[in-house]
Amino acid sequence: MSPIRVLAVDDSALMRNMLSAVVNQQPDMEMVGTAPDAFIARELIKQLNPDVLTLDIDMPRMDGLEFLSRLMRLRPMPVVMISSLTTRGSAATLRALEHGAVDFVPKPEHREEDNIARWSQLVIEKIRIAARARLTPPAPTARPLLAGIRVRQQSIIAIGSSTGGTEALRQVLMPLPVSTPGIVIAQHMPAGFTYSFAQRLDSLCQIAVREAQDGEPVLPGTALIAPGDRHMEIIGQDSGYRIRLSDAPAVNRHRPSVDVLFDSVARQASRHASAAILTGMGGDGARGLLHLRQTGAFTLAQSEATCVVFGMPREAIALGAAKKVVDLGDISQCLLDSFAYKSSPKTDSRR
């Protein structure tokens, strides 16, 4: 198999050298070129035909967002953003994902050997995933609002996602009406980005979207996103639920872990829950989705044709965890319809 051909675009010579060293140490990839700005990158893309591009956001002459937007219109290819952890940087990174970037890697905050080693491993993983990713055209910025449903206090929706999940979640949440059961979400994302991500979704959706806080209630018409680097669970409170956050060890190499969230929803809500597992690499969430289905919850997995990375849904389907496999554009309605089905007196809670 041919090695993955990588081109790094960054105005920092140090970052270009770091990325080159990391990539060239891998047997399955090679750094075919580096560029200090978008104009040189444009010429190198034509000459070198790379498989994956790593792209900085803050660059002279043309910033990474503008270059990415032009690139995805004229020559779509897998792009991994190399992003600052600042508030401005996280907001720009989310816009890059909307423009079609596959994923992102925060720039290392500290230069200690252990931190650089972890960062290097993350870069390699993201490049490998990007090389296999399915590029999807940008979704419309607006979608028709769906009809509301009668919301019961015990009803709840749980969603898990990873690579490609920021855009998938946007498409799922935007059409949902205020009369939607409370939603809890585990999206694999580092600390420092989930707050901006929630703010961005909140500005686009009819429902309220925010980063979850420990102890807060799960309310209808609200989606709560697990903070980066913290597990999120629900616990029973009267006839509803509230959030519990923890710093427990990573599960399936992730914190937040989709399995941790799904298992808690299965224990607390069982047949009152509906759950969806969306695009992402690996198997996090597959066993939790099976647990949910076994307790009577309605479960679905995103279809391969609409996933950026068909990993987590594939694992869930293989386990028999998904009652339905659904295209991304139909997931919102399918989740709402599942509650009408639950309210039917003939419903078999085990399905």
Three-class secondary structure of residue 299 per DSSP: strand
Q: Active site residue: 188, 231, 254, 272, which one?
A: 188
Burial class (CB in 10 A: 0-12, 13-18, 19+), 350: exposed
DSSP-derived letter for residue 145 is P
What token pair was written down for 177? 């009406």
**Contact criterion met (CB below 8 Å) for 65 and 39:** no
Closest CA to 273 of 177, 159, 146: 159
DSSP characters over 181-222: -EEEEEE---TTTHHHHHHHHHHH-SSEEEE--TT-B--TTE
Closest CA to 56 of 76, 74, 43, 40: 40
Which pairs with CB-CB distance under 8 Å and at least 24 residues apart come from 46-51?
48/5, 48/7, 49/5, 50/5, 50/6, 50/7, 50/77, 51/4, 51/5, 51/6, 51/77, 51/78, 51/131
Give catalytic status of residue 155 as yes or no.
no
Amino acid at 132: R
The answer to whether the bond into 256 is cis (omega within 30° of 0) is: yes
Give catalytic status of residue 284 as yes or no.
yes
Rounded to whole angstroms, the Cα distance separating 223 from 210 reads 7
Q: Active site residue: 264, 284, 291, 338, which one?
A: 284
Amino acid at 335: L
Give catalytic status of residue 332 as yes or no.
no
Q: Active site residue: 120, 155, 162, 303, which one?
A: 162
Rounded to whole angstroms, the Cα distance separating 194 from 226 reads 8
- Residue partners of 163: CB distance under 8 A and separation at least 6: 102, 103, 129, 133, 188, 279, 280, 281, 308, 309, 311
Three-class secondary structure of residue 256 per DSSP: coil
Residues catalogued as catalytic = 162, 188, 284
